[in-house]
Amino acid sequence: MTGKTKRLHPDNWVGTLKDFQEWYGSEAVEQARKVILGESFEDRVVSHALRYFICDYWNDHTTPTLLLLSHDSVNGKSDCLTSVAVPLILINGAIDIHDDVVDRSEKKDGRPTVYGKFGEEIALLIGDALLMKGFMMLALVCRNLDGEKCSDILNTLKQGLFELGQAEVMELRYRGLADVKPTEYLNVAKKKAADVEALMRIGAMLGNAKKSEIEALGKYGRILGLISILRDDVIDMTLQEELGHRLKHECLPLPLIYAMENTKVRAELLDLVGAKDKTANDYELIRKLTNQGCGFERTKSYIDQLRKSGEALTLRLKSKTQLRFLLTSLADVSEYELFSPNAI
C-alpha cells in the first residue's frame, strides 16, 4: 500500500464537489475495499453483509479527501497518506453503521443500510469488525512514524472520536423534542464536527506542518464539518422520507428549529410535527411554514457566516484554492431552494 495518489493542480480545478472528492479519495477507497474483501469469514451472512457495505453501499471519499487535502495545503511530502487513509475509512464506516442502528435508519439515499438489510445484530457485529480492523491497521502504520508524531496522531483521533461520541449522546436527549433551542442544537452540531477537525489536523501533521498551520486547519475542519451537517439539515427538509425519519427518530433539522422561534408559525408547526400520520400535504405545509418562519433564511445566513470564517482561516496557509472550493461548494445550498420542482 503506497502513499502515491492523484493530485489536482491547485489553481485550476473545474468540476463538481462529487468529482473533487472522487479524484482525491478514489485510490484509498479502492484500497479499503481490497482490505475488507481479503478477509475471510466462515459465516456467509457476515461475509455477505461486509461485501454489501464495502462494495454496494459505502463510498467514503470524504475521509481520504480531507486527509489528503489538508496535507497538500501545507505542501506536505508524506509517503504514507493512503496507508493512513484506509484504516480511517474503515473506522468511519464502523461509526456510520453504528449510527444507523442508534437512529433506526433503514434507508439512506434510497438504499437499504446494513441495519435495514441485515438487522441490528449483524450491523453491530459488522461495525465492530471494521473498528477492530481499522485501529489495528492504523497502529501498524504508526509504527513507521516517529514516536511523537505517532502519539499526536492517535491522541488527535481519540479526542475527535470521543467528542463525536459525546455529541451523539447529547443528541439523544433532543429526540422528538420540539422546544430545542438553536443554540443547544448548534452546540451539539459543532461537537459532531470534531471528527472532521481531527482528519484535517492529522493530514497537516503528516505533512510536517507548523503548529500554526495545524491549528488553522483544525479550526477550518470544524467549520467545514459544521457546514456539512447544516447542509444535510437543509436537504433533509426537502425530502419527505428523510424529514419523516428526522421527526420520528432524530433531532429536528435546524431550519425547523429556527422557525419554531417564530410565534406566527409555531403553533401550527407544533401540531404538524406532533401528528402521528402525516400526509404528503402535511410535509409540504411544514416546509412552507418553515420558510415563512425564516427557518431556511436563518440557516443559510449562518452557513454563509461559517463560510466566511473558514475562508479567513485559509489566509494562513500556503495553498488556499482547493480549501476554498470545498467550503464554497458545501455552503452552496441554492439547488435545495424551498419550492424547487424536485422537492417533496
**Listed residue (20, 11, 154) closest to 84, CA to CA:** 154
> Does the pLDDT value for residue 335 go beyond 50?
yes
> Worst-scoring range by mean pLDDT, 11-25, 255-269, 270-284, 288-302?
11-25
Q: Are residues 253 and 320 in the same domain?
A: yes
Q: Please state the separation of Cα 171 from the chain's center in Å.
A: 15
One DSSP character per residue, 98-116 reads HHHHHHT--EETTEE-HHH
Position 143 scores a pLDDT of: 86
Q: In this structure, is residue 6 part of a structural domain? A: no
Is the pTM above the cut of 0.85? yes
What distance in Å separates the CA atoms of residue 26 and residue 344, rounded to the nearest whole number? 32
Q: Are residues 223 and 320 in the same domain?
A: yes
Q: In this structure, is residue 72 part of a structural domain? A: yes
What distance in Å separates the CA atoms of residue 254 and residue 235, rounded to the nearest whole number? 11
What distance in Å separates the CA atoms of residue 217 and residue 211, rounded to the nearest whole number? 10
Q: Are residues 82 and 134 in the same domain?
A: yes
Of 113, 144, 175, the residue that ends a domain is 144
Q: Are residues 273 and 165 in the same domain?
A: yes
Q: In this structure, is residue 232 part of a structural domain? A: yes
Position 1 scores a pLDDT of: 34
Q: How confident is the model at residue 253 (pLDDT cuts 50, 70, 90)?
A: very high
Radius of gyration of the chain (CA): 20
Position 343 scores a pLDDT of: 41
Q: Are residues 179 and 250 in the same domain?
A: yes
Position 163 scores a pLDDT of: 97
- Torsion, Cα of 54, 55, 57, 59 (10° steps): 70
Q: pLDDT tens digit string along 2-33?
A: 334 444 444 455 568 888 888 888 899 999 99
Q: In this structure, is residue 3 part of a structural domain? A: no
What distance in Å separates the CA atoms of residue 253 and residue 300, rounded to the nearest whole number? 13
Q: In this structure, is residue 245 part of a structural domain? A: yes
What distance in Å separates the CA atoms of residue 231 and residue 118, rounded to the nearest whole number? 29
Of 117, 144, 171, the residue that ends a domain is 144
Q: In this structure, is residue 322 part of a structural domain? A: yes
Contact 39, 21 (CB under 8 A): no
Q: Are residues 179 and 48 in the same domain?
A: no
Of 144, 171, 194, the residue that ends a domain is 144
Contact 201, 217 (CB under 8 A): yes
Say which CATH number the domain at 70 has: 1.10.600.10
Q: In this structure, is residue 223 part of a structural domain? A: yes
What distance in Å separates the CA atoms of residue 69 and residue 21, rounded to the nearest whole number? 10
Contact 262, 294 (CB under 8 A): yes
Q: Are residues 225 and 326 in the same domain?
A: yes
Contact 139, 149 (CB under 8 A): no
Q: Are residues 309 and 181 in the same domain?
A: yes
What distance in Å separates the CA atoms of residue 274 and residue 287, rounded to the nearest whole number? 15
Q: How confident is the model at residue 339 (pLDDT cuts 50, 70, 90)?
A: very low
Domain holding 74, by residue range, is: 11-144
Q: Are residues 236 and 267 in the same domain?
A: yes
Q: pLDDT tens digit string along 77-128?
A: 888 899 999 999 999 999 999 999 999 999 887 899 999 999 999 999 999 9
Position 109 scores a pLDDT of: 79
DSSP state of 320: -
> Does the pLDDT value for residue 40 go beyond 90?
no
What distance in Å separates the CA atoms of residue 155 and residue 142, rounded to the nearest whole number? 12
What distance in Å separates the CA atoms of residue 148 and residue 158, rounded to the nearest whole number? 15
Q: In this structure, is residue 5 part of a structural domain? A: no
The number of domains in the chain is: 2
Phi, psi of 131 (to 5 degrees): -60, -50
Q: Are residues 62 and 166 in the same domain?
A: no
Phi, psi of 107 (to 5 degrees): -140, 150
Q: Are residues 198 and 119 in the same domain?
A: no
Contact 187, 219 (CB under 8 A): no
Q: Are residues 124 and 252 in the same domain?
A: no
Q: How confident is the model at residue 338 (pLDDT cuts 50, 70, 90)?
A: low
